[in-house]
Amino acid sequence: MSEDVLSADIGPTNIGPANVGKSRNRVSATEIALAVGGFGIGTGEFAIMGLLPQVADDVAVSVPAAGAVISAYALGAPLIAVLAARFARFHVLLVLMAVFALGNFASAVAPSFHPLVAARFFAGLPHGAYFGVAALVATGLAAPNQRARAVGRVMMGLTIATLFGTPLVAWFGQALGWRSAFAIVGGISLMTMVLIWLHVPRDRGDPQATPLRELSALGSLQVWLLLGICAIGCGGMFAVFTYIAPALTQVAGVSVANVPVMLSVFGAGMILGNIVGSRLADWSLTRAIGIALVFNVFAYILFYFTMTSPWMAIVNVLFIGGGFAVVPGVQTRLMDVAGKAQTLAAALSHSAFNFANALGAWLGGIAIAAGYGWTSPGLVGAVLGIGGFAIFLASVIVDRRRTGRVA
């Protein structure tokens, strides 16, 4: 691809119809390249969960101790985005994907437990920064009324990973050994680097960007409120999904053999939620976030009261996955309110999502341990969803007081 830089200003007013088609094709190729990276990251993050017993046996630790492999990955901080803000996003994406590839290949050959934990920490470092920078690249190429859909198309790689990538790589890991799963993810990373090199526009970076300027995002109340929406409001999804297998088998009567099918339904729900949430956000960014949060509360309550048959289980699992609809709106809104500190703000949303994962799983486990049953995480999710909606209302009120209207 040439050194030209595509922009959202390209349109029929300044180029001919043939070049408009070329421009659109280039934008699509860029989004696909970025989505493939998201597919690799999502696959690498979730596939290990189904292979944990094999990992524990091979490195001679207990399964709970092997859970540190997952925790180490989640510790990868988006603050790497602070240091990368001044560099060209094209080069940053290449470096981030190279680090991810190296971390996964190192995981595949780790000789023992502690080197494996270190390799997973290294592989997790690019996670939030990659999605943040990729979202900035995608929105920079999109028309003003299609920015959230551009974010959604990049995030589509992550959602497709839950439907296809994770089960497929987990199957290879079970058949060929867990190390092969990391090797496959490393291969996807290398393929992503090639696609980025071919299709992502070269940009010149921002020499005026500094770590201090990026950290200025943390001084914005709206940034914190939006991160709170993601951290609290999305926690319900993980409160339910973490314990979905026993809820399916012991409450809904789903056979153990059909649990993977139900997990695929969850992945399909994430894909649908991503598509619908993106379109809603381009229609009205503020309303889209509110609607998605209300839908989530409804889905969690429905799960608690109706998880009594395999057919209702399908509906419930699909709806729970659909809760992903809140993500494109929050991601796009974060970039809007962060001013010149967009790189860090865009990356922080994924840290908030990881926090939601930990919080939801912890609170759901407390409810189950207290004897409230396998569907009690649904009520936990509803409470978290209401909390997220309350933070959303606070964000709207703050914005009204600042501007006199809803942004």
What integer pLDDT is reported at residue 260 of this predicted model? Answer: 76
With beta carbons less than 8 A apart as the criterion, state whether 277 and 326 touch.
yes
User: Domain extents for the chain?
Assistant: 1-209, 210-407
Determine the straight-line distance between the first and last CA of the chain, rounded to whole angstroms. Answer: 37
Cα 242 → chain centroid = 16
User: CA 116, 114, 358, 213: dihedral to nearest 10 degrees?
Assistant: -80
What integer pLDDT is reported at residue 407 of this predicted model? Answer: 47
Q: Which two tokens stand for residue 32?
A: 């696909």
CA distance 147 to 282: 7
CA distance 126 to 22: 31
119 Cβ contact partners less than 8 Å away, ≥ 6 residues apart: 103, 104, 106, 107, 110
Q: Could you tell me the mean pLDDT of each successive run of 10 residues in the chain, 407 residues long?
A: 36 38 75 91 76 75 66 62 75 92 93 87 83 86 84 86 79 83 93 94 72 69 90 88 83 83 86 92 91 95 92 93 90 80 74 81 86 91 95 90 62
What integer pLDDT is reported at residue 198 of this predicted model? Answer: 92
- 3 state DSSP class of 221: helix
Residue 78: DSSP 8-state: T
Handedness of CA 116, 120, 121, 123 (dihedral sign): positive
Q: How far is CA 211 from CA 292, 340, 342, 399, in A?
A: 33, 11, 12, 27
Considering only CA atoms, which of 189, 111, 124 is closest in space to residue 157? 189
Please spell the DSSP secondary structure of 98-112, one letter per residue.
Answer: HHHHHHHHHHHH--S
What integer pLDDT is reported at residue 292 of this predicted model? Answer: 95
Alpha helices (runs of H) in 338-375, residue ranges in sequence order = 342-369
What integer pLDDT is reported at residue 77 of this predicted model? Answer: 57
What integer pLDDT is reported at residue 314 of this predicted model? Answer: 93
Residue 201: DSSP 8-state: P
Q: Domain 1-209: which topology?
A: Growth Hormone; Chain: A; (1.20.1250)
Q: Which two tokens stand for residue 138?
A: 């995608």
* Model confidence, pTM: 0.76
CA distance 366 to 370: 6
What integer pLDDT is reported at residue 123 of this predicted model? Answer: 86
Considering only CA atoms, which of 297, 290, 324 is closest in space to residue 394? 290
CA distance 153 to 151: 5
Considering only CA atoms, which of 311, 316, 5, 321 is closest in space to residue 141? 5
What integer pLDDT is reported at residue 4 of this predicted model? Answer: 37
What integer pLDDT is reported at residue 404 of this predicted model? Answer: 60
CA distance 133 to 34: 10
Q: Is 210-407 in the same CATH topology as 1-209?
A: yes
Q: In the CATH hierarchy, which top-level class contains the domain 210-407?
A: mainly alpha
With beta carbons less than 8 A apart as the criterion, state whether 292 and 329 touch.
yes
Q: 166-176 and 259-283 are packed helices; what angle lies between their axes, rounded to 10 degrees?
A: 150
CA distance 28 to 150: 9
CA distance 85 to 297: 36
Furthest-apart CA atoms within the chain: distance in Å: 67
293 burial type by CB count under 10 A (0-12 exposed, 13-18 middle, 19+ buried): buried
